[in-house]
A and B are shown apart, each in its own frame.
Chain A
Amino acid sequence: GENVEQHPSTLSVQEGDSAVIKCTYSDSASNYFPWYKQELGKRPQLIIDIRSNVGEKKDQRIAVTLNKTAKHFSLHITETQPEDSAVYFCAASIAGGYQKVTFGTGTKLQVIP
């Protein structure tokens, strides 16, 4: 089955700095990679996703890059703000087939004002 590893487990940055979270996956059949933000006691919220036919996707301060050859993908948050503080999860699955999603272990991001 799929295995997703995520690093770092915790990340502290000063407000305004950038944050980078990295994930690797094992199943070459995976082609859909969503990122979720989860605040304490709440449901995961999709913040950005990327499919394997593109290498990079950007949405305002958030960007995701994908390297299919190396089987790794990364989340980049620029100009971090205190409200970005949360736990972030990467995930991998096979698109379009109602396949299960495998989550990474999570990164607790703390943005220090």
Chain B
Amino acid sequence: GAVVSQHPSWVICKSGTSVKIECRSLDFQATTMFWYRQFPKQSLMLMATSNEGSKATYEQGVEKDKFLINHASLTLSTLTVTSAHPEDSSFYICSAPGLAGDTQYFGPGTRLTVL
């Protein structure tokens, strides 16, 4: 089956620093990937749609200059949280749709803690 990996699985950083999270499709190509943020006891909130070879599409209220997305290849998308602050602490999850374009395959998530 389709497998999506994420790295790192957890990260702790100081306020003001930047953190990069990688999302990889291991056995299939993903021209589109999605980035979600999940706060404790809440649902997954879509942040942006990552498109290979073009600019990401951000959801309303998500700062594109703070959450930089780069879809460098057909198997890799990265999310960089710039100038992170404690309120950015969250569980970040990526997903990629399968061949049919509907079923989402999720990465294991990255727990970000900003001190």
A-B pairs with beta carbons under 8 A, tally: 55
Q: Distance in Å from the Cβ of A22 to the closest Cβ of chain B?
A: 15
* B43 CB-CB contact with A under 8 Å: yes
Q: What is the bound-complex CA distance between A83 and B99, given in angstroms?
A: 31
Q: Distance in Å from the Cβ of B111 to the closest Cβ of chain A?
A: 7
Report whether B93 and A43 are in contact in the complex, using a CB–CB cutoff of 8 Å: yes
* B101 CB-CB contact with A under 8 Å: yes
Closest to B106 in A: A43
Report whether A44 and B46 are in contact in the complex, using a CB–CB cutoff of 8 Å: no
Q: How large is the interface on B (under 10, 10 to 19, 20 to 34, 35 or more residues)?
A: 20 to 34
A103 contact from B44, B103, B107, Cβ within 8 A? B44
A101 contact from B91, B100, B104, B107, Cβ within 8 A? B104
- A43 partner residues in chain B, CB cutoff 8 A: 93, 106-109
- A95 partner residues in chain B, CB cutoff 8 A: 100-102
Report whether A100 and B101 are in contact in the complex, using a CB–CB cutoff of 8 Å: no
Report whether A101 and B43 are in contact in the complex, using a CB–CB cutoff of 8 Å: no
Q: What is the bound-complex CA distance between A97 and B109, given in angstroms?
A: 24
A18-33 interface bits toward B, Cβ cutoff 8 Å, 1 = contact, 0 = none = 0000000000000010
Q: What is the bound-complex CA distance between A105 and B38, given in angstroms?
A: 11
Q: How large is the interface on A (under 10, 10 to 19, 20 to 34, 35 or more residues)?
A: 20 to 34
- A94 partner residues in chain B, CB cutoff 8 A: 102
- A102 partner residues in chain B, CB cutoff 8 A: 46
- B42 partner residues in chain A, CB cutoff 8 A: 105-106
Q: What is the bound-complex CA distance between A49 and B97, given in angstroms?
A: 14
* B67 CB-CB contact with A under 8 Å: no
Report whether A96 and B102 are in contact in the complex, using a CB–CB cutoff of 8 Å: yes
Report whether B108 and A42 are in contact in the complex, using a CB–CB cutoff of 8 Å: yes
Residues of B within 8 A of A (CB): 31-32, 34, 42-46, 49, 91, 93, 95, 97, 100-104, 106-109, 111
